[in-house]
A and B are shown apart, each in its own frame.
Chain A
Amino acid sequence: MNRDLTLPIDEQTARALRVGDILHLTGAIFTARDEAHHLLLERHERGDEIPFSPSEMALFHCGPVVRPTDGGWDVIAAGPTTSARMELFEDRFLEAFGTRIVIGKGGMGPRTQGALERVGAAYGHYTGGAGALAAGRIERVEAVHWLEKLGMPEAVWVFRVERFGPVLVTMDSSGGNLYTELDATVAKNLESILAQIDRS
Chain B
Amino acid sequence: MNEPKLIEALVDGLRIAAAHLPTDVVGALREARGRETSPLGAAQLDAILENVEIASRGEIPMCQDTGLQTFFVEAGCRSPFLPAIRESIEAAVVRATTEIPLRPNTVDPLTGENPGDNTGRFMPYVNWELVDGDDIRITILPKGGGSENMSALRMLPPGVGLKGIKKAIVEHAAACQGKPCPPTIIGVGIGGGADIALKLGKKAVLRPIGSPHPEPTVAAMERELLDLVNATGVGPMGVGGRTTALAVHVEYAHRHPASLPLGILVQCWADRRSIVHLAPDGSIEVR
Residues in chain A within 8 A of chain B (CB atoms): 20, 22, 62-65, 67, 76-79, 82, 105-107, 125, 127-136, 153, 166, 168, 170, 178-179, 182-183, 185-187, 189-190, 193-194, 196-198, 200
Is residue B60 within 8 Å, beta carbon to beta carbon, of the partner chain? yes
Contacts of A106 in B (CB 8 A): 177-179, 238
Offer 5 A-B interface pairs, CB within 8 angstroms, sorted by A: A129-B268, A182-B234, A186-B177, A193-B228, A193-B232
CB nearest to B18 among chain A residues: A77
Selected contact of A168 from candidates B55, B60, B239, B270, CB within 8 Å: B239
Partner of A77, one of B48, B60, B163, B181: B60
A interface secondary structure, majority: mixed
Given the complex of chains A and B, what is the CA–CA distance between A161 and B16 in angstroms? 28
Q: Which of A76, A78, A186 contacts B232 (CB 8 A)?
A: A186
Residue pair B239, A131 in contact (C-beta under 8 Å): no
Q: Complex Cα distance A62/B270, Å?
A: 18
B residues at A contact (CB < 8 Å): 40, 43-44, 46-48, 50-51, 54-55, 58, 60-66, 101-103, 144, 146, 163, 166-167, 170-171, 174, 177-179, 181, 228, 231-234, 237-240, 268-270
CA distance in complex: A140, B47 (Å): 21
- Flag if B64 contacts A131 (CB, 8 Å): yes
Q: A168-B44, A186-B234 are in contact. List 15 more A-B contacts (CB 8 A).
A: A65-B102, A77-B64, A127-B237, A132-B58, A136-B54, A153-B103, A166-B46, A168-B43, A182-B234, A182-B240, A186-B177, A190-B174, A193-B231, A197-B167, A197-B228
In the bound complex, do residue B166 and residue A186 qualify as a contact, i.e. CB atoms below 8 Å apart?
no
Contact residues in A for B233 (Cβ distance below 8 Å): 182, 185-186, 189
- Nearest chain A residue, comparing its CB with the CB of B40: A168
**Nearest residue, chain B, Cβ from A67:** B101
Smallest beta-carbon distance A34→chain B, Å: 13
Q: How far is the CB of A187 from chain B (nearest CB, A)?
A: 8
* Contact B167 A194, beta carbon cutoff 8 Å: yes
Inter-chain contact A129/B166, CB cutoff 8 Å:
no
Asked if residues A82 and B55 are in contact (CB atoms below 8 Å), the reply is no
On whether the beta carbons of B47 and A127 are closer than 8 Å, the reply is yes
- Residues B43 and A128 in contact, CB atoms below 8 Å apart: no
Q: How far is the CB of A190 from chain B (nearest CB, A)?
A: 5
Our pick among B64, B167, B171 for the contact of A64 (Cβ within 8 Å) is B64
Which chain A positions have C-beta within 8 A of B50? Answer: 130, 133
User: A51 to nearest B CB, angstroms?
Assistant: 24
Given the contacts A132-B54, A132-B55, A182 and B181 also touching, CB distance less than 8 Å: no
| A134 CA to B237 CA, complexed, in Å | 16
- Shortest Cβ distance from B231 into A: residue: A193
Asked whether B63 lies within 8 Å of A129 as measured between CB atoms, the reply is yes
Q: Tell me whether B62 and A132 are in contact (CB under 8 A).
A: yes
- Distance in angstroms from B259 CB to nearest chain A CB is 22
| Among candidates B46, B60, B234, residue contacting A135 with C-beta atoms closer than 8 Å | B60
Provide the residues of chain B in CB contact with A200, threshold 8 Å.
163
Given A128-B268, A190-B170, A190-B174, the answer on whether A133 and B239 have CB atoms closer than 8 Å is no
